[in-house]
């Protein structure tokens, strides 16, 4: 018999989940407000539903140019690694499983009410403030919705202990993300050689690298030759951030900005347009929490989270993208575009910046 909670959750669209995550913002601690928004962009329900409906799944994935680890099953207990509330992941899984066992669809609960009920249960189990558990409650319920009751219950939800900055209090994490690198006692005299710090977390690795004022993030990441990045993620040709075209075209370098989004250049037309084509749902703000790292220039410290996959699916999934012509950049990017073009027929003009 289908689980009633699962059946009920399946009645909500991706737009409903995004709206619920927005409505809950005042009841989520600042440390996880953008983090939960980013999680919902990293794991779009509509892409999942589209893939579920395909007879030839491998061909559908090829057409959408999907690369990396994009199925939540592959990161069931790790996808929320960048949320403060991830430390409560075992309690979150237990709370959702208990809810699934007793839920009656007759109650017709709204998404927000369901998330808050699970958030309260996690807070009680963990002895934590509910403002620190609502975000992870939303992620746990959305994960349950995507993978199903059986898959969700397969593991207890062991989560790695928070390390470095993330082991601090929520207030100290927010403060650390807002801080800028010291330029020394004569720093106020510096004009061209100001250096800042980019901290990043990806599934399985994290660290930091230096960035010069007004330098593109991926360019700075490429200077970090401290390890064989490709052994961690084969999309990492240079440095810890996956890249391909470095021209806003392929979407490989998309990142979530957990701190310092106001210290990045405003989004230009090219990035705005191509991100829509890529399907990443970048918020319509000057300096949003979702960026293409090859287009974002830093003017201060930033904290990033790197998703484990990329693709170009805006046109096929959301049907709200105008036609576009993509200029060839590198052989690999050209190949990727040709693959995507095979699934999307006509090609219109790309705006100039």
Residues that bind ligand FES (CB under 6 A): 243-246, 248-253, 292, 294
Distance between CA atoms of 9 and 17, rounded to whole angstroms? Answer: 10
Output the smallest distance, CB 132 to ligand FES, in A: 34
Nearer to ligand FES, 84 or 254 (CB): 254
Nearer to ligand FES, 195 or 270 (CB): 270
Distance between CA atoms of 217 and 211, rounded to whole angstroms? Answer: 7
Please, what is the end-to-end C-alpha distance for the chain in angstroms? 54
Nearer to ligand FES, 3 or 246 (CB): 246
Nearer to ligand FES, 146 or 246 (CB): 246
Tokens of 288: 């949003």
Output the smallest distance, CB 95 to ligand FES, in A: 38
Q: In this structure, what are the phi and psi dihedrals at residue 25, rounded to the nearest 5 degrees?
A: -50, -45
Output the smallest distance, CB 229 to ligand FES, in A: 14
Q: Are strands 195-202 and 302-305 parallel, antiparallel or unpaired?
A: parallel
Output the smallest distance, CB 232 to ligand FES, in A: 17
Distance between CA atoms of 211 and 196, rounded to whole angstroms? Answer: 5
Nearer to ligand FES, 147 or 250 (CB): 250
Distance between CA atoms of 191 and 205, rounded to whole angstroms? Answer: 33
Output the smallest distance, CB 67 to ligand FES, in A: 11
Nearer to ligand FES, 118 or 253 (CB): 253
Output the smallest distance, CB 335 to ligand FES, in A: 13
Nearer to ligand FES, 44 or 119 (CB): 44
C-beta atoms surrounding 296 within 10 Å: 24
Output the smallest distance, CB 244 to ligand FES, in A: 5
Q: Whose CB is nearest to ligand FES?
A: 294
């Amino acid at each position: 018999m289908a689980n009633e909670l699962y059946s009920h959750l399946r009645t909500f669209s991706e737009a409903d989940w995004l709206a619920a995550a927005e409505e809950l913002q005042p009841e989520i601690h600042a440390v996880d407000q953008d983090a939960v928004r980013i999680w919902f962009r990293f794991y779009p329900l509509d892409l999942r539903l589209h893939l579920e409906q395909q007879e030839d799944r491998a061909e559908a994935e090829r057409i959408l140019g999907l690369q990396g680890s994009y199925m939540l099953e592959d990161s069931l207990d790790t996808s929320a690694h960048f949320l403060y509330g991830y430390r409560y992941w075992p309690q979150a899984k237990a709370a959702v499983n208990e809810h699934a066992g007793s839920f009656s669809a007759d109650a017709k609960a709204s998404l927000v009410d369901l998330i808050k009920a699970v958030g309260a249960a996690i807070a009680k189990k963990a002895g934590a403030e509910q403002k620190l558990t609502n975000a992870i409650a939303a992620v746990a319920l959305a994960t349950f919705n995507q993978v199903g009751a059986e898959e969700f219950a397969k593991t207890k939800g062991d989560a790695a202990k928070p390390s470095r900055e993330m082991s601090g209090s929520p207030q100290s994490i927010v403060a650390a993300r807002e801080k800028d690198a010291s330029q020394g006692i004569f720093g106020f005299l510096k004009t061209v050689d100001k250096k800042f710090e980019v901290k990043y977390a990806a599934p399985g690795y994290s660290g930091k690298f230096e960035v010069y004022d007004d330098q593109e993030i991926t360019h700075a990441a490429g200077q970090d030759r401290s390890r064989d990045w490709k052994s961690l993620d084969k999309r990492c040709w240079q440095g810890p951030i996956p890249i391909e075209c470095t021209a806003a075209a392929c979407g490989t370098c998309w990142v979530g900005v957990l701190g310092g989004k106001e210290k990045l250049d405003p989004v230009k037309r090219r990035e705005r347009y191509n991100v829509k084509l890529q399907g990443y749902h970048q918020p319509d703000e000057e300096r949003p929490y979702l960026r293409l790292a090859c287009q974002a220039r830093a003017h201060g410290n930033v904290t990033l989270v790197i998703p484990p996959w990329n693709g170009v699916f805006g046109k096929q999934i959301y049907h709200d993208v105008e036609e576009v012509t993509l200029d060839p950049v590198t052989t690999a990017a050209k190949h990727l575009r040709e693959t995507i073009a095979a699934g999307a027929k006509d090609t219109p003009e790309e705006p100039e910046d």
